Amino acid sequence: MKGIAHFASGLCVAAWVPGVVQDAAQGGLLIALGGACAMLPDMLDFRIERFIEHRHADIAPDAQLPDAQAIADALAALMRAALVDGQPRTLQLHPIRRGVIDWLLYSLRFDTANGDVVIRLAPNIANASQTLARAHVGKLDYTYDGEIHIEELGGPSLKFTPVFANNAPTDKTLRIEFLPWHRRRTHSLLLAAGLGVLLGLSFGWMAGLVGGLGYAVHVIEDQLGYMGSNLWWPLTSERMAGLKLLHASDAPANAATVWLALTLLLLSLDRARDVPLLPLMPYLLLVVGLPTVLLIIAQARRVWRRHMPATFAQGDILADVEEGRA
C-alpha cells in the first residue's frame, strides 16, 4: 500500500489505545508515534536494505540503439547460469537516460508456460532495432503478478534461485523473486513486538503499545498483496506468500484503507468526549461501513479483471519503489 494508507492506519490504531487521545489533548505526540512507526518498515527498506543488497550483474540497455533481443539474451544467460551451477544470482535492471526527460523504458514478463523471458520496448522509442523479443531459460517459478516496468530513475532487482525437485539434480526449476531486498527482515511481527518492548522500556507502556501496533499494522496490510512478508524474522529467512488481494498502487484498496482508518480515528476522538456527538450505529453503518464496502467491491472487481484468463495484468508493480522515493 501507499505510505499515506500506512500512516493513516498507524494513527487509527494509536487512537484506540487507552489514554492516547487524552495524551494528544494535552499536546502529547503518542498518536503521531503510531503513524511514524507504521511508516518505519518501508523506510528501513528503501533507505537501507536496497543499498546493501549484493548484486551479481546489472543490465543497462544501449541508449543509442536499444535492442530488445540483446536485453532478453543477457537476462536469460544469467538465469541459465544459475540453473547450471545451482548458485543463486541477483540482477539489477536499469533504464537508460538519454536526456533530461528522455529515458529508455522497457518491460519484462516471465512466460512461465514456455520457460521464456519476454522483453518489450516502449513503442515510442526511436531507432529501436527490435521492440519485442524473447529468450528461453527453462522451468520458471514466478509467483508475482504482472509485467515489470523498468522506468525512470531506477529499476527493480530480481533474485534467481535454483530449486531441485525431489532432490534430483537434473530436475531444476528457477524460482524468481521480485525485489529480494524488500519485505524481508523489516516486515516482521516479531520485530514489531521487539520495537514495542524497546519503546515501552524507554518511554512507558503506552508508547510501547502504540509503536508496536503501528509497526504491526503495516506488516499485516502488506500481507494482503502479492509479495508477502517475512512475518517471523529472525526465526525465518523467507517471505511468506501474500494473499494476492491488491497491488500497492491499487487506488480502491488505498482509498478504502485511508477512509476506514480516518473515520474510525474520528470515532475514537468523539468517544473520548464527555458527551459524544456522533450517533454510533448510523455513523458505523453509513459513514464507516458503506463507503468502505463500496471501495472493497471496486477493489474486488479490479482483482477479478486482473485474473481473467484473457487479460494480462500490467499494473504498476513498482509502486512501492516509487513510494520509497517520495
Q: How far apart are CA 248 and CA 227, in angstroms?
A: 10
Q: How far apart are CA 267 and CA 276, in angstroms?
A: 9
* 261-307 residue pLDDT tens: 999 999 999 999 999 999 999 999 999 999 999 999 999 998 888 76
Domain ranges of the chain: 3-50+184-325, 53-178
Can you give the pLDDT at residue 39?
97
The CA distances from residue 74 to 41, 71, 116, 250, 283, in Å, are 33, 5, 13, 32, 58
Can you give the pLDDT at residue 106?
87
Can you give the pLDDT at residue 18?
95
- 157-164 β-sheet, strand order: 57-59, 89-93, 157-164, 172-178, 140-142
Can you give the pLDDT at residue 223?
95
DSSP 51: G
Q: How far apart are CA 24 and CA 21, in angstroms?
A: 5
Q: 160 and 115 in contact (C-beta within 8 Å)?
A: no
Low-confidence ranges of the chain (pLDDT < 70): 99-102, 123-130, 152-153, 166-170, 307-326
Can you give the pLDDT at residue 126?
54
SS3 (DSSP) at 11:
helix
Q: How far apart are CA 147 and CA 49, in angstroms?
A: 24
Can you give the pLDDT at residue 99?
67
Can you give the pLDDT at residue 124?
57
